[in-house]
Amino acid sequence: MTNTFSQVGTNVRKVDGMALATGGSLFVADLAPENALCGMILTSPHAHARIVRMDISKAEALDGVFAVLYHGNVPRILHTTAGQGFPEPSPYDTAMFDNKVRYVGDRVAAVAAETPEIAARALSLIEVEYEILEPVFDPVKALQPGAPIIHDEPDAHVVIPVPYDKDRNLAAFVETSVGDVDGTLARCDIVVSGTYTTQYAQHCPIEPHITLCELDPYGRVRITSSTQVPWHVRRIVAQCCEIPVRRIRVVKPRIGGGFGAKQEVLIEDVCTMLCLRSGQPVLMEYSRKDEFVSSRTRHPSVCTTTLGFSKDGKIQAIRMHMVLNTGAYGSHALTVGSNCGSKVLPMYPCEHIEFKMEGAYTNLPVGGAYRGYGATQAVFSVECLIDEVAAKLGRDPLELRVQNHIRSGMGSPIFKALGEGTEGVEMTIGSCGLPECISLGAEAIEWKKPRTSSGRKARGVGMAILMQGSSIPHVDMGAATIKLNEDGSFNLLMGATDLGTGSDTVLSQIAAEEIGVDTAMMIPLSSDTDVTPFDVGAYASSTTYLSGGAVKKAALLIRHQILEVAAEMLRCEQDKLSIEDGRILGGAKVITISDVALHSLYSHNQKQIMASASHITEKSPPPFAAHFVDVEVDLDTGFVKLLKYVSAVDCGTTIHPKLAEGQTEGATMNGISFALTEEYLFNEKGRMLNPSFGHYKIFTTADMPEMVTIMVPTYETTGPYGAKSVSEISINGALPAISNAIFNACGVRMMHGPFTPERVARALREKS
């Protein structure tokens, strides 16, 4: 479908671009008053221990200390830290402070003091006596009989009826099947199987978790926080601190990155309690070490997948068993685990599918929301095994994918069977540009061109195809309010959270397009729970598709109101009028939206032109992508050099092409870094050994290969102006595509990330 828009599909100036470029944007730390106390948390040095004695008296007596918190002086309110819709599908297994610690980095106590130095001194004066308990670090072993029980407290529970068994370290469980997988696999001509594992990884936002809490003159708490989920923060903090929601205001300023880490309520509750106890403003900020150890991570996984094919190359059956390591708490275990199936298995439609997921508690850092959200872990095995099938059939892996991948008009029983912790929705694919993604990506990488290996350098190419989703249908909701000003500008009030993704700009474009004005006439304000309407927050690839739907609805109402007043002014029928570039056309004369605003506000029948709208989604249309990579492998050292990486993406209509390309390139680099360098290292006691950028290696622009990004236009009829999501999908391609390219180059199959030189060299030695 071809559409001509005036604002949508154009690279308008980012609404906060100049402020960011000139240092004018204010982040949480910039807003802290000079008298703000420093909040600081004491964390556990042990992976599994019970606190048998604790003395905070010396810390409380230290000059400059205003408050000390620990399990003995705060309410024990079990909750989940996951910022999800209510009731949350994650277990209520977390207290603000507990008498048991479950991983190195778990909360023990907190202080608020005049300076960071005094706060650190106060923490050192807190006396803690621990009873050391046996830990378990392996998620598979954690699920076996006789393993140490991590959550032996009697009150941990789930609030919706989902599978949960803390007595055997099972934080989440999903199992579904269609057809006859066993019988079909027994009849298949080709059966391939493998166990693929993924590692811990951190989001590494430039700005760590940071929160400022202040009391206003009316006794309300203003929480200014670097968060993706302001409304979930408000609800969970009220729950933990036992205060009414009406006493809390949450404001999100500019954010220095999130990627899912800030879909979690990690420090806002403690900071609020310190503020309430001290009566002073409190600023609490994670250090980089805290961010690695005490924040959230990508869930490590152990995925065993089996594919069955007929000799003509048609897929017949899929079986996937996923074990996720959720760490010490069950944050997002069920929803990430569900997405392992729902965002991957429909890619290759067949009648016989079996999926099982177990989320295991361990005494290691906590898994949470991370860009890709389950698809990253599961697509690794599937896309590598597709290449294994192609090799057995003597087929081009690209052609095998083309033969089998999902297309427009097709569905999958997995869509209905697996939601994000709830039942999904039956869905057929609307827009699908995957065939074009594959053909254009193959052309850009020169897929058919022979790669010449010489000496110790081996060349190879690999690919992977991907799908994700757009919002959580029938679960999440977004809302927007728009009002007209005298000069023809509009205040656009949105709950949607801009993380630096540019959603303030994209949503302004949608509103401007619907009304018929330039984007520059929109004045966006987002994420203030006192001022803007509700929105679930920035997660699940929902902002453009879900929140954009709310903005478009509100803008349509505004357009109708403008034309109603204009018709009165021009003494003509409303349906004869139109709005173009801020002018009302079709009457005896041309008037402007400013004229309409002044007439509406100051003439008879006075009224404020304004409207609010809410939006939920009925489906979650997947964006699609095809990733291609050209690599060179050093056969002596195992070093993998990326020569070229191509990402071809169908995200429907690109509302802002440059921002969509930026999201794709950022996600692709994020995935490359995960595939080649990023890894948590632990000692035998569960302590992370590399919690710094000096030892935890992430890719930077200096490490980028030649990158080609191709946006493939389609039109998704259920999305605002044909748009789908784009932000997550491209993080998922690098792990399988690079593994396939390494195999193509030198014949070794990498089944555990990251593909470090040491691992590749070891695999080469074992092969020889």
Query: Domain 32-133+204-293 in CATH: superfamily?
Result: Aldehyde oxidase/xanthine dehydrogenase, a/b hammerhead (3.90.1170.50)
Output the pLDDT for position 605. 84
| Contacts with 34 (C-beta within 8 Å, 6 or more apart), sequence order | none
Residue 297: which H helix or E strand, with range? strand 297-298
Residue 542 burial (10 A CB sphere; 0-12, 13-18, 19+): buried
Q: What is the pLDDT of residues 417-456, one digit of tens each?
A: 887 766 778 899 999 999 999 999 999 999 999 998 888 9
Output the pLDDT for position 4. 85
**Are the folds of 17-25+477-616 and 302-464+622-767 the same?**
yes
Residue matched to tokens 């016989």: 352
* Arch. (CATH architecture) of 17-25+477-616: 2-Layer Sandwich (3.30)
**Strand pairing report for 221-225 and 127-132:** unpaired
> Which alpha helices (H) appear in 479-582, and where do they start and end?
503-515, 548-570
Amino acid at site 149: I
In the chain, where the domains are located:
17-25+477-616, 32-133+204-293, 302-464+622-767
Output the pLDDT for position 318. 98
Q: Is the pTM of this model over 0.95?
A: yes
Amino acid at site 239: Q
The domain made up of 302-464+622-767 has a fold known as Aldehyde Oxidoreductase; domain 4 (3.30.365)
| Contacts with 533 (C-beta within 8 Å, 6 or more apart), sequence order | 479, 480, 481, 493, 494, 495, 612, 614
Output the pLDDT for position 1. 46
Output the pLDDT for position 454. 84
Q: What is the pLDDT of residues 122-145, one digit of tens each?
A: 999 999 999 999 999 999 999 999
Ranges of the chain with pLDDT below 50: 1
